[in-house]
Amino acid sequence: MNLRRVSTGVGRLLAAGSLAATGLLVVVPNALALAAGQPLAGTAVASLGTALGLVVVAASAVLYRADISTRNVARVAAWNLLGLVVLGAVLLLSRSTIDAAVPLFLVASVLAVSSFAHLVIGVHDVLRIRAGELARERERLSVVNTLLRHNLRNEAQLLLGLAGAVEDAETRERIEAVGDRLGDLNDKARELQRLLDEPSDGEARDLSALVAGVVSTVRERHPDATFETAVPDGVSVAGDERLERVVRELVENAAVHAGDAPTVTVSATVEGAGSRWPSATTGRASRRWSRRSSAARSP
């Protein structure tokens, strides 16, 4: 058993559990007040507190299952607890200066507002941090991609130059063909990097239909290959025509570089609030390109 994974799972559960606990803490007094009956103003306040508390409880479940790190889940929970503790302390200190008794549900409603507000602050803080991490990751990948393309181009040019020194015509042609393919790979890598770097218009597209269209096109170019798809229905992804080109390059590379008469399986999975897609797998190789997006299942 992986103790680190267990520890991470327990920490994630505790963080999400603390959120759920604070939500229930403010829901119960307000729900009891509504059940007991209140004047119009009291009913409105208790209803607001109940609704916000339920939102916090629901958010705890969403964050537990979301595709974010346990540290970030704990960060949101810490923001939530901070708002609850600070405002709770203020209310406790203010109580000594107020002669009249304050209904418990009113206190709970005020705490519910603070809990919800700090939940929003925590989520925004996590999104800000995640955006910075993604920007740094993209920058590192861009550097690695540039370095690899540079080396690939140099090796292709060297190979083509050495081919001229080979006397056997058949061997020379095979070497030149390999050099040409290396040069094509360099061009494709550069083009894919450009496509990924350029902003998308965010148009929602059906992933299943997109993959089916790409497979149909690639099948015509490679009639000896067998193509299978395992893409769930009702999944939308944000992208434009460049997205289709990226997927086509992925599938075609799997068909070209997997030997004679390969079987290519294109699959996609939905994880949390994003998608991982597609995976083009053959008997000899597996090539995966993944992207986090606001993919969502259609009703």
Q: Which helix (H) or strand (E) holds 271?
A: strand 263-271
pLDDT at position 290 = 39
Which tokens belong to 68? 């974010």
- pLDDT at residue 94 above 60? yes
- pLDDT at residue 1 above 50? no
- Mean pLDDT, residues 197-204: 65
- pLDDT at residue 90 above 90? no
More confident residue, 135 or 102: 135
- pLDDT at residue 165 above 90? no
How far, in Å, CA of 71 to CA of 88, rounded?
25
How far, in Å, CA of 270 to CA of 296, rounded?
8
How far, in Å, CA of 218 to CA of 280, rounded?
12
- pLDDT at residue 140 above 70? yes
State the average pLDDT for the chain: 77
pLDDT at position 108 = 87
How far, in Å, CA of 94 to CA of 26, rounded?
19
pLDDT at position 269 = 73
Sequence-ordered list of residues with C-beta below 8 angstroms from that of 144, at least 6 positions apart, any chain: none
- pLDDT at residue 244 above 90? no
Q: Which helix (H) or strand (E) holds 38?
A: none
